[in-house]
Amino acid sequence: MDINFFSKNFITSNNYLEQFSFLKESSMKEEYLGIFVYLCFATFLALLIVVLSYFLVTQSPETEKLSTYECGFEPYGDTRNQFNIRFYIIAILFVLFDIEIIFLLPWCVSISQLNLLGFWSMVEFLVELGIGFIYAWCVGAIEWS
């Protein structure tokens, strides 16, 4: 674009409002005005709910409300017990094989439309997961001692 275009239309204008008159006729104002009003209303409503809930709630902490609750019994022992690492290993293996099933389902549904690349890439994926499962089994990560 030519710099003279900008200098004629924007810089030489004496009135500040005339420079930005294109904003008054903008379609963006019509399109985003509803979103802006919605966001303002949502913000106002969220603040109103938080403020009213703080002032209107009955704050009377009792000893029963402040006591710890553990399955209906009074807590016993130290609550900072160490967990066995096998819990986490089993959980990670469970998530891993869940993801395998998530990938396996669409492959099984669309296997008739796949070409050889799609078929063998999934077979390779299953072989890798099988090798990982055999490794975890041989190491003893699945066995609970």
- Tokens matching residue 116: 């050889």
Same domain, 95 and 65: no
- Give the range of the structural domain holding residue 38, as residue numbers without chain letter: 1-81
* Whole-number pLDDT of residue 47: 97
Q: Is residue 113 part of a domain?
A: yes
Whether 19 and 10 have beta carbons less than 8 Å apart is answered as yes
Q: Is residue 15 part of a domain?
A: yes
Same domain, 33 and 76: yes
* Whole-number pLDDT of residue 16: 60
* Whole-number pLDDT of residue 70: 59
As a whole number of angstroms, the distance between CA 29 and CA 23 comes to: 8
Same domain, 47 and 101: no
Per the structure, the count of domains in the chain is 2
Same domain, 4 and 52: yes
Q: Is residue 145 part of a domain?
A: no
Secondary structure of residue 73 in the 3-state scheme: strand
As a whole number of angstroms, the distance between CA 112 and CA 128 comes to: 23
- State in Å, rounded, how far the first CA of the chain is from the last one: 76
Q: Is residue 144 part of a domain?
A: no
Same domain, 49 and 98: no
Q: What is the mean pLDDT of each run of 10 residues along the chain (145 residues)?
A: 52 57 65 88 96 84 69 65 78 85 87 89 89 87 76
Same domain, 7 and 72: yes
What is the separation of C-alpha 40 from the centre of its chain, rounded to a whole number of angstroms? 24
Same domain, 123 and 93: yes
Whether 136 and 93 have beta carbons less than 8 Å apart is answered as yes
Query: Does residue 71 come out as left (phi exceeding 0), alpha (psi in the -120 to 50 range) or beta?
Result: left
Domain boundary, last residue among 81, 97, 130: 81
